[in-house]
Amino acid sequence: MGYFDNNDKIDEWFKKRRSKFTCSENYKLSKDGIGRNSYIESKVIELTTKFYQRPELEEVEALRHGKANEWPSAERYFNETKNFSMTYLGDENPTFFPNENNPEESGGTPDIVNILKTGKVDYGCELKNPVNPAYHFRRLKWKNQWDIKEGYPSCYCQIQDLIRITGAFGWDFVSHDDRQLSKKNQIVIIEVKPDRKFIDNLELRIELAIKDKYKLLSDHIGVELKSKRDYINYIQQ
């Protein structure tokens, strides 16, 4: 029996990120209580159910708007920064980067990366295209990464997690809205450097979440399991 036992064609990207703690959602681990527990529970559910179709992600309207505008935003970013050596991974080419220290449990999907000849990523970019123009309007006042941390904590966590996973020395936050009449106000670019204290804390929270994930899974099936390999061996018996 295959782990993803499904007769339908499964999108490779969804399959790779399924049941893992991902950069775009790990901000939920910074919240104690219901949000954190529900997030961990969702990963257990993904482990214990068949994958028949792509899941409906949160905030679908915002997601569709962002994807529809992602390439124009990337193009504007390249033209503004002259970072033409970087690679756009959006639209039909999403690439999931697993955490090398624990590839079965966490990872993330960058929008734009600079890939060295060694295959390593040394810099990246996160694109945001808010469906509500008020969000971009407010971001026009932001000057540094601490403004992102205060005003958009989920994205700050996402970027720091991508830095953690790739080992990059920096990441650009980009907010783009071409509905602004002034061209210079259509894009905000802020460089984000590694926040080591934040990253160490996040890594600890992910490790604790992984332990809680397998404790919940063990309670669910009545067998003690400590890893995905343990679970696969169990269901293949």
Q: In the prediction, which pLDDT does 56 show?
A: 54
Average pLDDT over residues 185-193: 98
129-145 tens-digit pLDDT:
999 999 999 999 999 99
Domain coordinates in residue numbering, the chain:
12-235
| Cβ 139 vs Cβ 188: under 8 Å | yes
Q: Which of 201, 207, 218 shows the shortest CA–CA distance to 102?
A: 207
The contacts of residue 135 (CB under 8 Å, 6+ apart) are 175
Under CATH, which number does the domain 12-235 receive? Answer: 3.90.320.10
The contacts of residue 49 (CB under 8 Å, 6+ apart) are none
0.75 exceeded by pTM: yes
Q: In the prediction, which pLDDT does 94 show?
A: 83
**214 compared with 66, residue with greater pLDDT:** 214
Q: In the prediction, which pLDDT does 143 show?
A: 98
Where in 68-182 does DSSP place strands (E)?
A: 87-88, 97-98, 106-108, 112-115, 121-128, 170-176
Q: In the prediction, which pLDDT does 92 show?
A: 66
Q: β-strand 121-128 against 170-176: which pairing, if any?
A: parallel
**51 compared with 171, residue with greater pLDDT:** 171
Q: In the prediction, which pLDDT does 93 show?
A: 74
